[in-house]
């Protein structure tokens, strides 16, 4: 017997890319942070690939000033392609940048008032459908055992439990104060311990107040009602409209679960995380691994 579809499918993904990227200045003065490459693919490409792997192909970019390169990345580069064809060069590397006409929409966040505000800017396009959110500076790499990427795992969980889901990961307790932290409820049977009820959310708690060491990482599936919560919400921590605050208000009114991602996450919004991701992925690529390993040994003198 085939599974009955119980919940509205997740077909839309919002990519908030209007942040200033101040931690990477001056690199991000003229280039969007999301266009910084991990080896040869910009961060936004990894996020879009993860969305498509999860069966989500309606892409909504919340952009701001200086972010047009992101949209151009997913456009046809006619002159480049024509010249390459004339030189008998393969266009294969450009394949992931191709978008079905009509499947990419941009909205503008004129002033970066916070992640919650950026998501709210997409409300007219979201309408009354559930939607996914990807923070492209958090790079999620799935295992090679077929479990798939983070959003694929989340969509599979969503199809079972519906409602709202966030991806979480465990960090050493002393690090929790830099993140949004969940107050976990009971674990659900049948998901390998990966699905937990969420009883509460706290943004950047003090160590002694942290309800767990499970932090929110940059993937979400939310119900459209969050837009109404954001509509009436003032500024929170850091003077920004916080998505975490809006989600916290939804708890108790709708199902809310956390998915522990079976895979790795790199915080590419930080410089060390970015370097770690570059090294880790280079060491996994058959075309580079040997050379990079030898180079690392040379540099470390081992």
Residues in contact with ligand UTP by the rule CB under 6 A: 16-23, 33, 62, 109, 112-115, 117-118, 135-137, 269
| CA distances in angstroms from 104 to 15, 70, 107, 210, 216, listed in the order given | 11, 11, 10, 39, 27
Judged by beta carbon, residue 69 or residue 113, the one nearer ligand UTP is 113
Which residue lies nearest ligand UTP, judged by its C-beta?
19
Question: Strands 58-63, 12-16: parallel, antiparallel or unpaired by DSSP?
Answer: parallel
Contact call for residues 140 and 264 (beta carbons, < 8 A): yes
Q: Is the CB of 15 or the CB of 256 nearer to ligand UTP?
A: 15
Question: With respect to ligand UTP, which residue has the nearer C-beta, 42 or 136?
Answer: 136
Q: How far is the CB of 186 from ligand UTP (least distance, A)?
A: 30
Shorter beta-carbon distance to ligand UTP: residue 121 or 154: 121
- Taking alpha carbons only, the member of 22, 242, 39, 244 closest to residue 139 is 39
In the bound state with ligand UTP, the residue whose beta carbon lies nearer, of 114 and 184, is 114
CB of 258 to ligand UTP, least distance (A): 19
Cis omega (within 30 of 0) for bond into 26: yes
Query: Within 13 Å and on the Cβ side, how many CA atoms surround 254?
Result: 20
Q: Are 54 and 140 spatial neighbours (Cβ–Cβ below 8 Å)?
A: no
Residue 4 beta carbon to ligand UTP: minimum distance, rounded to whole angstroms: 36
Please name every residue paired with 13 in a beta bridge, in sequence order, or none if there are none. Answer: 59, 132
Q: Which is nearer to ligand UTP, 196 or 244 (CB)?
A: 244
**Cα Rg for the chain, rounded, in angstroms?**
20
Q: Whole-number minimum distance, CB 170 to ligand UTP, in Å? A: 21
Shortest distance, position 145 Cβ to ligand UTP, whole Å: 29
Helix (H) and strand (E) counts in the chain: 10, 13
């Amino acid at each position: 017997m085939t599974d009955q579809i119980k919940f509205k499918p997740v077909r839309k993904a919002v990519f908030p890319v209007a942040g200033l990227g101040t931690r990477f200045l001056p690199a991000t003065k003229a280039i969007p942070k999301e266009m910084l490459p991990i080896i040869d693919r910009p961060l936004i490409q990894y996020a879009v690939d993860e969305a498509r792997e999860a069966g989500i192909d309606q892409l909504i970019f919340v952009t701001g000033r200086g972010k047009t390169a992101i949209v151009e990345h997913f456009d046809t580069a006619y002159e480049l392609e024509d010249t390459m064809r004339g030189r008998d060069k393969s266009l294969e590397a450009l394949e992931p940048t191709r978008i079905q006409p009509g499947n990419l929409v941009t909205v503008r966040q004129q002033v970066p008032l916070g992640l919650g505000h950026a998501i709210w800017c997409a409300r007219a396009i979201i309408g009354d459908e559930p939607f996914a959110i990807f923070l492209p500076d958090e790079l999620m790499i799935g295992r090679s055992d077929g479990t798939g990427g983070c959003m694929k795992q989340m969509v599979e969980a969503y199809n079972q439990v519906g409602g709202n889901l966030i991806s979480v990961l465990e960090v050493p307790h002393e690090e929790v104060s830099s993140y949004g932290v969940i107050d976990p409820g009971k674990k659900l049977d049948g998901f390998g311990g990966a699905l937990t009820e969420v009883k509460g959310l706290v943004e950047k708690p003090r160590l002694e107040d942290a309800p767990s060491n499970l932090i929110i990482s940059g993937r979400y599936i939310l119900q459209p009602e969050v837009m109404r919560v954001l509509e009436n919400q003032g500024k929170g921590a850091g003077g920004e409209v916080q998505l975490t605050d809006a989600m916290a208000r939804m708890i108790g009114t709708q199902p809310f679960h956390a998915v522990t991602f079976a895979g790795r996450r790199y915080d590419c919004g930080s410089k060390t995380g970015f370097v770690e991701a570059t090294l880790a992925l280079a060491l996994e690529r058959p075309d580079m691994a040997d050379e990079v390993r030898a180079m690392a040994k040379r540099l470390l003198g081992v």
